[in-house]
Amino acid sequence: MAVKKYVAELIGTFVLVLVGCGSAAFLGVQVGGGHLAVALAFGLAIVATAFVIGNVSGCHINPAVSFAMLLSRRISGKDFAGYVIFQIIGALLAAGVLKYLTSISTIGDQTGALGSNGFGSVGMAGAIIVEIILTFIFVFAVLGVTADPGKGSVAGLVIGLTLAFVHIIGIPLTGTSVNPARSIGPAVFAGGQSLSQLWVFIVAPLVGAAIAALLYKLVIAQKTN
């Protein structure tokens, strides 16, 4: 049933946002220990969920990944819509839980915005460029490792490690989105600047995903056919 796939995406996105953004909120994202720990938290969340829901929904847990799969004709338009809706719901639920936890914890929110993304030190144009490039790298890897059924046993690990390494460079610049749902959840609850800058972290990842799908089709898919 299609609803099982959508609920799986909700659960996976919930885990990703709660663990990833939660690590940022409670540990902080100063370059060094906290920075690397947050990158690993995002990556390991993918590894864990991929081995649980991968055979149900493919474990996209990211509208950018689902968009690339749509463009690559690996999912239908109906599934794309269902995936994105439930991914966003999962992200909002996770952000709501995180908002509550930071409000009752003596640690508080070390980022001041639930780990939301922002322009940081690179400005709007820089943030757009960073997010397009990092999403391209991530989605390109996803398309490649999921194209061969024989790589199913390692796909989750490869995708998780790729997400971790794009976070390592992206956290000091934008906080690393590469995932519109991951950005929407915290921004809605943080409000203010996080919400006003949110559009970049929706548009840029989708552009990066579209470029990845196009180049994969033109460069890689033709060689494997």
Contact 179, 136 (CB under 8 A): no
Has this prediction a pTM greater than 0.85?
Answer: yes
pLDDT surpassing 90 at residue 102: yes
Q: pLDDT > 70: what percent of the chain?
A: 96
Residue 71 has pLDDT above 80, yes or no: yes
Mean pLDDT, residues 197-202: 98
Over residues 192-210, mean pLDDT: 97
Q: Which residues contact 84 (CB under 8 A, 6 or more apart)?
A: 63, 66, 181
pLDDT at 114: 96
What pLDDT is stored for residue 169 in this prediction? 95
pLDDT above 70 (res 223): no
Better-predicted residue by pLDDT, 1 or 153: 153
Q: Is the dihedral of CA 54, 56, 58, 64 positive or negative?
A: negative
Question: Which domains, ranges and CATH numbers included, belong to the chain?
Answer: 2-224 (1.20.1080.10)
First-to-final CA distance of the chain = 31
Can you tell me the distance from the alpha carbon of 214 to that of 118, in angstroms, rounded to the nearest whole number? 27
Res 220: pLDDT: 85
pLDDT on residue 7:
97
Averaged pLDDT, 90-101? 98
pLDDT surpassing 60 at residue 224 = no
Angle at 199 between CA 20 and CA 28, to 5 degrees: 30
**Sequence-distant (≥ 6) Cβ neighbours of residue 83 within 8 angstroms:** 5, 6, 9, 57, 60, 63, 66, 75
Give the model's confidence band at 151: pLDDT under 50 very low, under 70 low, under 90 confident, else very high: confident
Average pLDDT over residues 179-195: 97
Helices (H) and strands (E) in the chain, counts: 10, 0
Residues in the chain: 225
Summarised one tens digit per residue, pLDDT across range 116-143 is: 999 988 999 999 999 999 999 999 999 9
- Spatial distance between the Cα atoms of 187 and 169, rounded to a whole number of angstroms: 21
pLDDT digits (tens, 9 = 90+) for 3-61: 999 999 999 999 999 999 999 999 986 766 678 999 999 999 999 999 999 999 999 99
